[in-house]
């Protein structure tokens, strides 16, 4: 018989359930339930100062797992960036062209702003002036250009026959390659599917050119209107300690790009006017059409004026061989004047790119982006040379 006051449970009875256990269920310790243990730890580390607990130790960045993840993420981001650049190649080219045009027109807009004209009004004045000059030129030039172009196409077989009669070498080339037959087939419209395909291709090209021009004009206007804000945003990307020097170098790059754009346009206009005067003086046909062609091709560095000279000399050959040879000599002299007089005085002091680097830059730019790359190669090379001279070379000299 048990004694009174004994605390042992009665025979056949179970132990009294502990706090937190459920009556009728088997006892399970905290070590057997990770979530319950984590909840208990969460309640323990929570405090009024840190209701959500104090931050734990950071991940070990030198662990093999973190290194592998960082490398994989880097490869994925690089591949995605390359694919994005390839997909948006056309749009990026238009943006770059608009940015270069905006930088080239910025000195004019800044000059108007300095004379107490609001920036939006200055941008409007610049665009209205540019469109006015372009519209006046097109209104005066398009009718004779169309007329001369049509006459050139219609008279091309006759010119070829005339050249065959006067120059045996051309007659031999025609006999070997059937140039006159191919030219007449192309102009006469034989092969309707080819002509229709050519018309469709020309339509797509014209639509693409018009849409691209509209995009460039709109983007140029936005860039000009917001140029101070864009400039300040770009400079804020530099660290505070290096920001003043970044501003000086960046403004110098903007000056080089702007000087090159305006100078190249001015030189092209000068060469076009001189070519037009030469053609009118010696009675070469289609003078306005050829002068416009010279102005457009002369925008392309290194090879543009050479190609224009070849085309004009071939047309001058229809007049006489001496006139054609004189035209070749004229373009050689014009190239020398352009390289040693116009370019050094107009854009040479601003850009300051050595001739060898100019040739290499134009070749690389043309190989990468075609005509657009050749046009933008020289100012980009000037910017790279400036950055190398002001940042890279001083660090190398100190080592």
DSSP string, 289-323: HHHHHHHHHHTSTTTHHHHHHHHHHHHHTTT-HHH
List, for residues 245-297, the tens digit of each pLDDT value.
999 999 888 888 888 888 888 889 999 999 999 999 998 888 888 888 888 88
- Joined tokens for residue 377: 């190669």
> Using CA atoms, how far apart are residues 269 and 183, in angstroms rounded to an integer?
32
Residues in Cβ contact with 247 at an 8 Å cutoff, skipping those fewer than 6 apart: 235
**Phi first, then psi: what are they for 386, rounded to 5°?**
-65, -45
Q: What is the pTM of this model?
A: 0.63
Average pLDDT over the chain reads: 77
CA distances from 197 to 202, 205, 276, 295, 387 (A): 8, 12, 35, 30, 48
| Cα distance from N-terminal residue to C-terminal residue, the chain | 100
pLDDT of residue 284: 86
CA distances from 270 to 9, 188, 232, 344, 397 (A): 116, 38, 36, 15, 43
Instruction: Kindly report the number of other CB atoms within 10 A of residue 300's CB atom.
Output: 20
pLDDT of residue 12 exceeding 80: no
- Joined tokens for residue 135: 């519209």
List, for residues 33-67, the tens digit of each pLDDT value.
777 887 888 888 888 887 887 777 776 777 788 88
Looking up tokens 């010119």 gives 159
**Which of 125-134, 182-191, 259-268, 273-282: highest mean pLDDT?**
273-282
CA distances from 4 to 1, 7, 8, 12, 266 (A): 9, 9, 11, 18, 120
Instruction: Kindly report the number of other CB atoms within 10 A of residue 210's CB atom.
Output: 10
Over residues 307-332, mean pLDDT: 87
> Using CA atoms, how far apart are residues 332 and 316, in angstroms rounded to an integer?
15
pLDDT of residue 243 exceeding 80: yes
pLDDT of residue 9 exceeding 50: no
Over residues 372-376, mean pLDDT: 81
Over residues 353-358, mean pLDDT: 80
pLDDT of residue 46: 82
Note the Cα 295 to chain centre separation in Å: 22
Query: Is residue 357 within 8 Å of residue 385, measured between CB atoms?
Result: yes
């Amino acid at each position: 018989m048990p004694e009174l006051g004994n605390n042992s449970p009665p025979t056949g009875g179970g132990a009294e359930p502990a706090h937190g256990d459920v009556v009728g269920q088997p006892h399970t310790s905290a070590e057997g339930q990770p979530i319950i243990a984590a909840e208990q730890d969460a309640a323990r580390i929570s405090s009024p100062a840190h209701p959500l607990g104090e931050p734990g130790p950071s991940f070990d960045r030198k662990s093999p797992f973190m290194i592998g993840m960082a490398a994989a993420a880097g490869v994925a981001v690089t591949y995605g960036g390359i694919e994005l650049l390839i997909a948006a190649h056309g749009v990026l080219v238009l943006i770059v062209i608009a940015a270069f045009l905006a930088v080239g027109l910025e000195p004019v807009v800044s000059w108007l702003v300095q004379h107490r004209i609001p920036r939006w009004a200055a941008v409007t004045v610049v665009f209205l002036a540019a469109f006015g000059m372009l519209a006046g030129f097109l209104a005066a030039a398009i009718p004779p250009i169309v007329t001369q172009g049509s006459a050139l196409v219609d008279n091309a077989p006759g010119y070829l026959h005339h050249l065959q009669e006067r120059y045996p070498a051309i007659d031999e080339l025609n006999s070997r390659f059937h140039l006159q037959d191919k030219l007449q087939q192309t102009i006469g419209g034989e092969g309707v599917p080819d002509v229709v395909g050519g018309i469709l291709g020309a339509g797509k090209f014209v639509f693409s050119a018009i849409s691209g021009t509209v995009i460039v004009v709109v983007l140029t206007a936005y860039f000009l209107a917001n140029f101070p804000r864009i400039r300040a945003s770009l400079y804020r990307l530099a660290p505070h300690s290096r920001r003043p020097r970044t501003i000086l170098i960046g403004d110098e790059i903007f000056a080089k790009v702007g000087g090159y754009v305006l100078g190249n346009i001015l030189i092209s206009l000068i060469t076009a006017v001189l070519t037009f005067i030469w053609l009118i003086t010696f009675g070469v046909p289609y003078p306005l059409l050829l002068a416009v062609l010279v102005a457009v091709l002369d925008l392309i560095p290194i090879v543009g004026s050479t190609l224009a000279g070849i085309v004009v000399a071939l047309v001058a050959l229809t007049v006489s061989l001496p006139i054609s040879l004189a035209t070749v000599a004229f373009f050689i002299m014009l190239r020398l004047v352009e390289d040693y007089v116009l370019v050094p005085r107009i854009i040479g002091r601003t850009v300051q790119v050595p001739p060898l680097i100019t040739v290499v830059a134009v070749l690389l730019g043309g190989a990468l982006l075609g005509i657009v790359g050749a046009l933008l190669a020289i100012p980009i090379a000037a910017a790279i040379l400036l950055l190398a001279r002001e940042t890279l070379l001083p660090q190398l000299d100190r080592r």
